[in-house]
Amino acid sequence: MYGLKTDWLEEPTPRYYTLGDYEGETARWCTGCGDHAVLTAVQRVCKEEQLPPDKTVFVSGIGCSSRFPHYMKTYGFHGLHGRALPVACGIRSRRPDLHIFVVTGDGDCCSIGTAHWIHAVHYNMNLVVMLFDNNCYGLTKNQTSPTSPKGSKSNTHPRGAALDPLNPVQITLAITNASFVARTVDWNPPHLFATLQAAHRHKGLSFVQIIQRCPHYKAGVHDPLQSDPSQLLLMTHPDGIQLDDSIKGIFKNQREHDPSDMDAARALARDPEGVSIGLFYRNESGERYDEYTALGIATSRDEKIAALKAELSLYQI
């Protein structure tokens, strides 16, 4: 290791990773929780993309979904409520070799961690950010979240939430330098998988809102969407999320949307014809802060000492 310009090594003999290589502890989410479906989809993405588990990191905050890293057999960082993004950005800043996924919830991302959400999108570092949006605080036992529907009852608003919910996609699309913004649902595995795979392949910050069921505290909230796919608007495009025709056929309501068209993306984010799912926006050529933060990464020890000596000499008496 000593004296090497680069301080990581490639594994000399590649091997084929199976789904089992990504399976960590047994998931302890409630029966019927949408998180199980996302876990399965993510493990499949890892396998399809053949991500080395030792080179993959899942970073999360606090909440039901933030237990996610424990259920993967990769490196994981289960940190503080709302603070997954700064940690993930810090990891990314000097480790271009790692695959980094961020797991966050609607309380984590859209409430306590809002500042980091906005700035992480602006930084546009190469990360996959999955917003597990179940419209409520689950782990703290049913409080209103910023995305709770107006009128929905919780322990903090027993007479119903007072305000219309925040729309995470609308907000993300408003941030300068947003480069990949998508929405999917936990109950359509092919769409979920295809969206996350596209997110992983994107170079930059991929923001994916996953509409996710909480059978315990928000039972039935998404039943209409689930049982009547016509309430969803499937965005299609050759540059968008690719689905088999058999899956596409489920969606009666479809609209071709060019993901390079930001104005159209912002219009669709208002869900004019039902809840839009698919890829709202993608820009592969956006500025990436991780390209800036990685500068100087190969500086040798001799160069470091020389730089300090040169600097000290300026202060010499």
Partner 1 sequence: MSAESTTKSSDADAPAGGASAAGNGNEVRVRTIPEQIVEIVSDSGEGAQTAGQLFGTVCAKMGNGLWTVEIIPAEIEPPARSQAGASGIRIRFATRPMTNMGDQADLVVSFNEQVLYSRIDQDALRTGTVLLIDDRWASDEDPGIQEAYQKALDDFRARGYEVRGVPIHSETSKVTDNPQRGKNMWVVGLLCALYNRNLDIAKKEVRKIFERRRKGQAVIDMNYKLLEAGHAWAIEHLDERFDVPAEEQETQMVVMNGNAAVAMGAMAAGIEVCSMYPITPATSATHYLASVFHEAGGLIHQAEDEIAAAGFAIGASYAGKTAITITSGPGMALKTEMLGLAVMAEIPLVVVDVQRGGPSTGLPTKVEQGDLLSSIFGMPGDSPKVVMAASSIDECFHFVITARKLAEAFCTPVILLTDANLSSGQTSFTMPEPNEDWLSPPVDQSPWKEGVAPYAWDQETGLSRRPVPGQAGGAFVLTGLAHDEKSHIAYESAVNQRTMRMRSRKMAALQKTLKPPEVHGDPEGDLLVVGWGSTRSAIDEAVDRIRKDGRKIGSLCLRFLSPLEPGLKEIFARYKRVMTVEINYSDDLGDPLIDDDTRRYAQLAWLLRAHTLVDLDCWSRVPGQPIPPWMIEEAVRGRLEGIK
Q: Which residues make up the interface to partner 1 (CB under 8 A)?
A: 1-2, 4, 7-9, 11, 24-25, 53-55, 57-59, 69-70, 72-80, 83, 85-95, 97-98, 115-116, 118-119, 293, 295-299, 301, 303-305, 307-312, 314-317
Q: Which residues of 109-146 are buried (b: 16+ CB within 10 A; e: fewer)?
A: bbbbbeebbbebbebbbbbbbbbbbbbbbbeeebbbbb
Residue carrying the six token digits 């996924």: 101
- Residue closer to partner 1, measured from CB, 57 or 235: 57
Q: Which residues pair with 102 in a beta bridge?
A: 59, 129
- Residue closer to partner 1, measured from CB, 26 or 227: 26
CB of 295 to partner 1, least distance (A): 7
- Residue closer to partner 1, measured from CB, 174 or 297: 297
CB of 186 to partner 1, least distance (A): 22
Contact 148, 135 (CB under 8 A): yes
CB of 56 to partner 1, least distance (A): 8
Which DSSP helix (H) or strand (E) runs through 256? strand 254-256
CB of 18 to partner 1, least distance (A): 16
Closest CA to 51 of 81, 11, 89, 7: 11
Torsion angle of the four alpha carbons 261, 263, 267, 270, in this order, in degrees rounded to the nearest 10: 100
d(CA 106, CA 81): 11
CB of 46 to partner 1, least distance (A): 12
- Residue closer to partner 1, measured from CB, 4 or 163: 4
d(CA 315, CA 317): 6
- Residue closer to partner 1, measured from CB, 159 or 309: 309
CB of 278 to partner 1, least distance (A): 30
d(CA 90, CA 78): 14
- Residue closer to partner 1, measured from CB, 1 or 158: 1
